[in-house]
Amino acid sequence: MKLESIRKRKRLLLEVQILLAVVLILAIAMPLLLPAFRLKILGRILSLAIVALGIDLIWGYTGLLSLGHGIFFALGGYAFAMYLNLQLPQGQLPEFFSLYGVSKLPWFWQPFYSFPFTMVAIILIPGIVAGLLGYLIFRNRIRGVYFSILTQAALLVFFNFFNGQQKLINGTNGLKTDTQAIFGVLASSAGAQIAFYEFTILLVVLTYLLCRWLTSGRFGRLLVAIRDDEVRTRFSGYDPTGFKVLVFAISGAIAGISGALYTVQTGIITPKAMDVAFSIEMVIWVAVGGRATLVGPIIGTLLVRWAQTLLSERFPEVWLFFQGALFLIVVTVLPDGILGGLNQLRSQLGFRPRLVTYPSIEEAPEVQKEREEIG
């Protein structure tokens, strides 16, 4: 027991050291090494890594494959864009309203004059929508492929709804943020973009630590138990419905934060953020990096999105084939993702695995200890 405790401390210390090193490289070295254009791309990719962490939380640890996370991503983006579009002289309306003959600001825009309200809304609105959607699905004990189909169907409903709201949110044209100001500074200016980049790094770290905390204790073991055998978990005295609704709501809130950061670094948010292909791509990032690792989704997002950027620049007509080939290789050769493959390689070479990819509740040290005590 004492030896296991020492090992845990060593692993925790190593994890902290690696995390600090990565943060220092991203926050200090990259702004000095990369041109502004490339740094902005890196900032966008890091913001997408946040939504990948949320998907890993529900898919890798809870076994819920969501194909509709673009809903929550877009809601966070629209919330922040609405605030930025209201940073105008008193009495003026965002420019697009005049195109459709709207002379009075719609009632649901009014609260977004407030910056504190907007920051809360970026988290709460996607979280509440995810919680309500999850409750409607999970209370009927819908799971597996049916859950995935329903989340994608919900995504299509939201996509079509937002597309048709020309007078309220500019419909297919979306809301621009690059020409708006925040605290008196143009959102697209170099100084503001650097600030958004550094803030994105901070939120990636905080989101990682939140997911690490949620999955490392009893709550995390319960999520894995629900994923591995929900029926047995229910017969053990737990109600999986409440836990699945909670973790789905948390994942939705995380996606909202990601959407807000991505929007302000891209310069616009449109219903295309709720495109089916984009939500599926989020799942690909997690699969490539490795499910239930937390580090894997970040690596997968960086790898896939950066490769997409470079390949689309050099091979604009065929880069999608490269992306598809990468996913097929990972699924067929490395079904547990890159980190899972590294873990298997370490095991074959005789090393003790450090990374647990898609862990089973049966392998948990606490479960094995309880069995020994009962036996």
pLDDT tens figures, 86-111 = 998 888 899 999 889 899 999 999 99
9 pLDDT higher than 70: yes
Summarize pLDDT for 324-366 with one digit per residue, the tens: 787 787 778 878 888 877 877 777 776 655 444 445 555 555 5
* Percent above pLDDT 90 for the chain: 69
Which pLDDT does position 332 carry in this prediction?
81
The pLDDT, as a whole number, for residue 13 is 83
What confidence tens digit (pLDDT) does each residue in 19-35 have?
Answer: 899 999 999 999 999 99
Q: Does the pLDDT of residue 246 top 80, yes or no?
A: yes
Lowest mean pLDDT among 15-24, 80-89, 210-219, 323-332: 323-332
Give pTM, 2 decimals: 0.91
pLDDT for 69 equals 97
Determine the pLDDT at residue 362: 57
pLDDT number for residue 355: 45
Q: Average pLDDT in the 79-83 region?
A: 97
Pick 80 or 141 by higher pLDDT: 80
Q: What is the 3-state secondary structure (H, E, C) of the chain?
A: CHHHHHHHHHHHHHHHHHHHHHHHHHHHHHHHHCCHHHHHHHHHHHHHHHHHHHHHHHHHCCCCCCCCCHHHHHHHHHHHHHHHHCCCCCCCCCHHHHHCCCCCCCHHHHHHHCHHHHHHHHHHHHHHHHHHHHHHHHCCCCCCHHHHHHHHHHHHHHHHHHHCCHHHHCHHHCEECCCCEECCEECCCHHHHHHHHHHHHHHHHHHHHHHHHHHHCHHHHHHHHHHHCHHHHHHCCCCHHHHHHHHHHHHHHHHHHHHHHHHHHHCEECHHHHCHHHHHHHHHHHHHHCCCCCHHHHHHHHHHHHHHHHHHHHCCCCHHHHHHHHHHHHHHHCCCHHHHHHHHHHHHCCCCCCCCCCCCHHHCHHHHHHHHHHC
Residue 130 has pLDDT above 50, yes or no: yes
Mean pLDDT across 37-66 = 96
pLDDT band at 1 (very low <50, low <70, confident <90, very high): low
Pick the range with the lowest mean pLDDT from 141-150, 261-270, 337-346.
337-346
Q: 68 pLDDT exceeds 80?
A: yes
